[in-house]
Amino acid sequence: MGGHFIGGIDEALDPDFDANARALIAQLGCSENDIDILLDLGNPKFDPQDMLIAIIASVLSSGGIFSSARSVTVLATSFPDSLSSLKFGLDVLPRREWLLYKALMAALSDPIRRPGFGDYAVAAVEFPKGDMRFMRGSPNVRYAIDDAWLVAKSKRQKSNNNHAYPDLCGAIVASGTFAGIGFSEGSKYIDGCRLGTEKMGNPTTWKWVATNQHITKVVSDLARLSGT
């Protein structure tokens, strides 16, 4: 029997965290070796990064349940709640959670436990507030690249907003950072939409495209970071 613990950095820094976690494990009848810990930072203040790394390292080196758990994963996101501040055309957003993780892994020394990586893909921590039936954002395509996301965004029209997607996809392909149609199904769809061989889709379609590309990119990044 296994279990999952999800907590923030403040909870993990609590002097009673270890005792509370062990008490809950005993209550659930789990073994400490069957526990997976998700250290969810949410959307933290990434600067100064060195200070944030020192705090995370302090938690990971505290021993106790962090040493005996089956896995420990650091989870965060820097994707904005809204794209309204981005310019129309092509913009670049740094993947601050990935940059943080790489720096954290470089900073950790043995025998401190090396955690796994997690993020929120191409989504923010908070859902937009309001009636989703009437909330309509600008057409956009989100595309994960090395250390960043490309966001191609078009001005919203009164109708036929999906007609913007072929040009948005063309901007991604022409950016110089497009991974190629063989990299992911998301990349393949983007190129197909640009050429007219795929449907222009809707916001749900483009969330799938962005998520597929993002997950494929993260898996590739992790493999490269570990040297596999």
For residue 132, the model assigns a pLDDT of 44
For residue 5, the model assigns a pLDDT of 59
Could you tell me if 103 and 68 are in contact, meaning their C-beta atoms sit under 8 angstroms apart?
no
Could you tell me if 75 and 39 are in contact, meaning their C-beta atoms sit under 8 angstroms apart?
yes
DSSP codes joined into one string, 24-74: HHHHHT--GGGEEEEEE--S---SSHHHHHHHHHHHHTT-THHHHSSEEEE
CA-to-CA separations, 98 to 18, 85, 140, in angstroms, rounded:
27, 22, 22
Of 34, 29, 27, nearest to 3 (Cα)? 34
Cα–Cα distance measured from residue 106 to residue 112, given in angstroms and rounded to the nearest whole number: 12
DSSP codes joined into one string, 141-188: EEEEETTEEEEEE----SS-GGGGHHHHHHHHHTTS----TTT-HHHH
For residue 15, the model assigns a pLDDT of 87
CA-to-CA separations, 117 to 85, 206, 219, in angstroms, rounded:
28, 24, 10
Cα–Cα distance measured from residue 178 to residue 110, given in angstroms and rounded to the nearest whole number: 37
Dihedral angle computed from the Cα positions of residues 102, 105, 106 and 112, in that order, rounded to the nearest 10 degrees: 170
For residue 160, the model assigns a pLDDT of 67
Mean pLDDT by 10 residues, the chain (228 residues): 66 86 87 89 94 94 88 95 87 97 94 93 72 63 98 81 92 98 98 97 93 98 90
Residue 38's contacts (CB-CB under 8 Å, 6 or more residues apart) are 4, 5, 6, 7, 73, 75, 118
